[in-house]
Structure 1
Amino acid sequence: MNSSSITMLASGNSLGAYIPAMHLYTYLQDRGVRAAVHVLENLYHEEIRRKIPSTKKAFHADFSVALMGHKLAKPVESSLNEEEVQRLLDAWNRDGVSRFAVFTGFWLPILERYKIIACEPLDIRLIRLDAWDTPSFKVHKSLYPGYHNVWFYEPSKWSPGGYIASDETEPLPYAQRAGRILIHGGGWGIGTYAGTIPKLRELGYPLDVIVYDPSEVEEDDGVTRYFGTDAAWDPWSRDEQGRHTFPPMVRYVREGGVLQDIPLRDYASYTDLMRNCAAIISKPGGATLNDSLSYGIPFVMLEPFGEHELHNSSYWESCGFGIRFAEWAAHDFSKQHLERIHTRLLEERSKINHFGRKTYAAENSSYV
């Protein structure tokens, strides 16, 4: 057993800074590497945390509101409960916690405090799953250069640095896939994804749509399927063992106006949907780039959410891993074009390693 555990610092405010952390946690745990996940919102004042669902709802309802909120991003120190922060710092120091994988820049002021009191040398890696600064890192531009920044999609290098998934299963061959297209708006259900559904239905594409709210589910047509996250779940909650979990996913079916929600067995059932799909249509968030590379899925990119996603889109397109929706439309929504992108993804994925393997798991004698 590796004597030093890995602590993932995530955020539930953005699933893009939560799901990859959970993938890495699962991967390391399965290989005998001790790991833990902390979610920033558990350090918030309760009244601040209670406001998050209403903010998400407003961003989902109006993309322009979401864009404005992105531009106004600021450090979160005023939202933090000092007693909770101090309790966490004391626990880290007591337990000798020294190795961190950091998925959101909003943790940096807390890490600055820990650097002062830590009794051991620290290994802190900032996991940069975007091709440009996200708001959480941008607001701490004076701090992050002093850390080890792990850029997965460095603009000057037209090859990704790695990928993160719960395992190292190879992508499913394209000819064996069901040919369905997965459509979503990221963890907050934002962007222009819903507007793509009518045209793709008209073209006969079978769709798997991840809805933000069950009210978006239309009458079952035998072709389009709807999925979502269990409304009772939030990322800062823990299970009975005190651990953070992947979101419980459900399938929605509306028949005769009556909505049913059918729980999926586990989150792996959702990743199986991704492994089996012909393309993802979404805004170009960093976690979706990671999904595209991990599972060899062509990425049809919608309007970006902020400057970092604009850079993501340009990077993915330049690498040949994706195509903008308007460009795909200009190619008559060609299936052959998607398959060529899939081939390009597989070529590049064969050259890189899982981040957990090359950074952490290889140090574990039971795995090497």
Structure 2
Amino acid sequence: MIEVLTSGVALGVHVPGLLLADRLRERGMPARVTVLERLLPPAKLATTRAMKVAFHRDFRVALTGQRIATNPFDAVPDDRLDELFADWSTRRPRRFVVFSGYWLPIVARYADGCGDVDVIVCHVDSVASPSFRDTTTYAGTRVWLADADRGTIPTTIPVSHAPPVPWPERDRTLLLHGGGWGMGTYREHLAELVGAGYSLDVVAHEPADATVDDPAVRYHLVDPDWHPWADDGYPPLGRLRPDNPPVFVRGTGHHPSFDLTRTSMAVVSKPGGGTLLDSLWSATPLVLLKPFGDHERRNSELWQRLGFGITFEDWRDRGFPADALARAHTALSGAARRAPDLTELLLASR
């Protein structure tokens, strides 16, 4: 049994945790995903939900909130920790894969009471993200899905077993999103991208996001009632239409937005770690928007260094050419399968 530990406030690390659990189960290894926010009291969860809405609606608020973020471990009641540790003691997971640094003091406390445990710390971003600040003293084997310092993809998690869609079969379509919380400047560029001759798939997080009435712009709504701490599946996604309510699709084996990524010529987004993983496995280039913090800035620099993406400003200055995206697609082709699979590494060392 492998315990995969994620956080619902960062779907860029939660969804890769879900993907890893699915890949392990496909190979016969039992795996369970536990979300940190399930340990929090209701009042703290209500605050988290309110933050999600505020961060989505105003990126400036999100950037400020990131700078003052605190470790949610401080809000976890002792009785919830006791219940969690009792459950682990009963099921006895042989290994913990930690996707959020906020889990590390919890795992360390559990280890103090039960002896040594095998901890794999998985960094989805190319440098340590905010949850991993001040965690270097905690035990664990560190693995990286991207490495900005070395300019490499050291390890990866397969998003899908399907090969990338060949470039000639892709429509002149772009996918625009702001990561799991819909943050960033992606909604500011719809008119100029349509004017450049592209059709757009836009991920919405509330119906009010659908502000452009143009047949070239399609909105896809993430179920506003879905929260990772109350649901074990992928974020449900449904086409947002003015005449009918959305029919939400859950996604089997991977998140449904990845199906939009696979068929697009590029993803226009801030450079979160989960977005890098989707880009890698779909061979879909990134058009890189303003990052959410220094770790995403380094993600952006890495993707440009590898030839996998281009900044929005650079692409716009060139006139939004499709051939720049085609070159990035060529650079991405095959890169995912050249990286060691974390699933295989975990199974080989059992």
TM-score under structure 2 length normalisation: 0.94
The one-letter code of the counterpart of 2:25 is Q
Alignment correspondent of 2:131:
136
Alignment correspondent of 1:316:
303
Aligned pair count reads 348
* Aligned alpha-carbon RMSD (Å): 1.8
- The gaps in structure 1 that reach 5 residues or longer are 239-243
**Identity, % of aligned pairs?**
34
For 2:47, what is the secondary structure of its paired residue?
helix
Aligned-partner Cα distance in 1 for 2:267–2:24: 27
2:257 alignment partner, one of 246, 259, 270? 270
For 1:89, what is the secondary structure of its paired residue?
helix
Alignment correspondent of 1:359:
345
Q: Within the alignment, does 1:153 sit opposite 2:146 as a pair?
A: yes
Alignment correspondent of 2:122:
127
> Residues 168 and 118 (structure 1 numbering): CA distance in 2 closer, same or farther, change over 3 Å?
farther
Post-superposition Cα deviations, 1:198-253, rounded to whole Å, max 9, x if no partner, equal 10011120110001211111465332211121112110113xxxxx1111111101
Alignment correspondent of 1:198:
191
For 1:261, what is the secondary structure of its paired residue?
coil
Cα drift, residue 270 of structure 1: 3.2
Q: Within the alignment, does 1:46 sit opposite 2:61 as a pair?
A: no
Cα drift, residue 156 of structure 1: 3.2
> Residues 232 and 271 (structure 1 numbering): CA distance in 2 closer, same or farther, change over 3 Å?
same
> Residues 191 and 292 (structure 1 numbering): CA distance in 2 closer, same or farther, change over 3 Å?
same
Alignment correspondent of 1:241:
none
Aligned-partner Cα distance in 1 for 2:313–2:332: 21
Alignment correspondent of 2:320:
333
The one-letter code of the counterpart of 1:225 is R
For 1:185, what is the secondary structure of its paired residue?
coil
The one-letter code of the counterpart of 2:114 is A
Alignment correspondent of 1:8:
4
For 1:323, what is the secondary structure of its paired residue?
strand
> Contact 1:26–1:166 at 8 Å: present in 2 too?
no
Aligned-partner Cα distance in 2 for 1:282–1:156: 22
For 1:260, what is the secondary structure of its paired residue?
coil
The one-letter code of the counterpart of 2:237 is M
Alignment correspondent of 2:174:
181
For 1:263, what is the secondary structure of its paired residue?
coil
Cα drift, residue 17 of structure 1: 1.9
> Contact 1:159–1:348 at 8 Å: present in 2 too?
no
Q: Within the alignment, does 1:97 sit opposite 2:90 as a pair?
A: no
1:248 alignment partner, one of 230, 233, 236? 236
Higher mean Cα deviation, 262-271 or 84-93? 262-271
The one-letter code of the counterpart of 1:360 is L
> Residues 165 and 350 (structure 1 numbering): CA distance in 2 closer, same or farther, change over 3 Å?
closer
For 2:142, what is the secondary structure of its paired residue?
strand
For 2:148, what is the secondary structure of its paired residue?
coil
Cα drift, residue 122 of structure 1: 1.9
Cα drift, residue 288 of structure 1: 0.4
Cα drift, residue 143 of structure 1: 3.0
> Contact 1:251–1:264 at 8 Å: present in 2 too?
no
2:15 alignment partner, one of 19, 38, 57? 19
Alignment correspondent of 1:82:
78
Aligned-partner Cα distance in 2 for 1:35–1:250: 28
Task: Could you list the structure 1 runs, at least 4 aligned residues long, displaced by more than 6 angstroms after superposition.
Answer: none
For 1:100, what is the secondary structure of its paired residue?
strand
Cα drift, residue 7 of structure 1: 0.9
> Contact 1:301–1:325 at 8 Å: present in 2 too?
yes
Alignment correspondent of 2:68:
72
Q: Within the alignment, does 1:231 sit opposite 2:227 as a pair?
A: no
> Residues 336 and 285 (structure 1 numbering): CA distance in 2 closer, same or farther, change over 3 Å?
same
Higher mean Cα deviation, 213-222 or 188-197? 213-222
Cα drift, residue 336 of structure 1: 0.6
Aligned-partner Cα distance in 2 for 1:47–1:295: 39
1:61 alignment partner, one of 49, 57, 61? 57
For 1:221, what is the secondary structure of its paired residue?
coil
> Contact 1:163–1:293 at 8 Å: present in 2 too?
no
> Contact 1:39–1:235 at 8 Å: present in 2 too?
yes
Cα drift, residue 259 of structure 1: 5.7
The equivalences for 1:260-299 within 5 A come to 260-264=245-249, 266=251, 269-299=256-286
Higher mean Cα deviation, 268-277 or 329-338? 268-277
> Contact 1:108–1:143 at 8 Å: present in 2 too?
no
> Contact 2:237–2:249 at 8 Å: present in 1 too?
yes
Cα drift, residue 152 of structure 1: 2.0
TM-score under structure 1 length normalisation: 0.89
The one-letter code of the counterpart of 1:302 is L
> Residues 265 and 54 (structure 1 numbering): CA distance in 2 closer, same or farther, change over 3 Å?
closer
> Contact 2:186–2:268 at 8 Å: present in 1 too?
yes
Aligned-partner Cα distance in 1 for 2:276–2:327: 17
The one-letter code of the counterpart of 1:310 is R
